[in-house]
Amino acid sequence: MTQDVPSARPGRLAGRVAVISGAGSVGPGWGNGRATAVIFAREGATVYLTDRDEDALGVTADQVRQEGGTAHTHLLDVTEPDAVEDCFRQTERQAGRIDVLINNVGGSCAGGAAELSLEDWDSQLRTNLTSAFLACKHAVPIMRRGGGGSIVNTASASGLRWTGAAQVGYAAAKAAVIQLSRVTAVQYAPDRIRVNTVVPGQLHTPMVEARLAHQRADGDVEKLLAQRQARIPLGFMGDGRDTAYAALFLASDEARFVTGTEIVVDGGMTARCD
């Protein structure tokens, strides 16, 4: 007998325990991690939030709690193996299980193959790829013990195609995140663990003002926003909430038959020929 397909409804994550990395934000507004934390809590999840910026992490947790949600925080550098293992051990001890894992940490560094230093290359792989691997490594056994779960990794349109700037370390790492998700999905499907990837395009998140404008437009935020928006067929930029809603679908029972694949959230940018 097949299970009934669940219908869309409020509280789609009611009773779930969700771990969200990179849950802080580099500035005011809707970064991917902050938006995911708030939206998941609105949908009934108890959220366990990690970030290496204590102040930013606290702002996100406060926002969740102000809306009546339940948030726990853990100051964490997701590139440190022992710290990641300890974080997941503590979370299982406190919550009893982990139902959802959102690997959201990332950051780009300018430079092509000839320009990027080996140190920056290694750092890009650790930040964008090894962080996701370490979290999966420690979440999968917990999910197996709990009878299943959903892992959503955050990649980037830069992992699919050229997006306007040479950032070879970031692009290579985010492409690898997609394949990490696919391989992990197939291996652990018998354990009822689903693994998928959200692939955001050029969103207007706080990262634009805090970092990217200085890297790519001499600090001219409006210039960079215009350049990015010109690449998007829909004619406007989304923000972290668009990433979060894609992750919400993948984390929920509505995606019970979805694993080993990607949702591209880019306003049509990667579908263009130019």
Question: With bands split at pLDDT 50, 70 and 90, how would you rate the model's confidence at 215?
Answer: low
195 pLDDT above the threshold of 70: yes
Q: What H or E segment, with its residue span, contains residue 44? A: none
CB neighbour list of residue 9: distance below 8 Å, 6 or more residues apart: none
Domain boundaries, the chain: 17-266
203 pLDDT above the threshold of 80: yes
The model carries a pTM of 0.92
Question: With bands split at pLDDT 50, 70 and 90, how would you rate the model's confidence at 205?
Answer: confident
Q: What is the pLDDT of residue 208?
A: 73
Question: The CATH number of 17-266 is which of 3.40.50.720, 3.20.20.10, 3.30.460.10, 3.40.50.2300?
Answer: 3.40.50.720
Let me know if 48 is a catalytic residue: no
**pLDDT (average), residues 208-227:** 70
What the block records as the tokens of 120 is 């920056």
Report the alpha-carbon distance of residue 193 to residue 274 in Å, rounded.
37
User: pLDDT (tens digit, 9 = 90+) per residue, 107-122?
Assistant: 999 999 999 999 999 9
Among 48, 170, 188, 245, the active-site one is: 170
54 pLDDT above the threshold of 90: yes
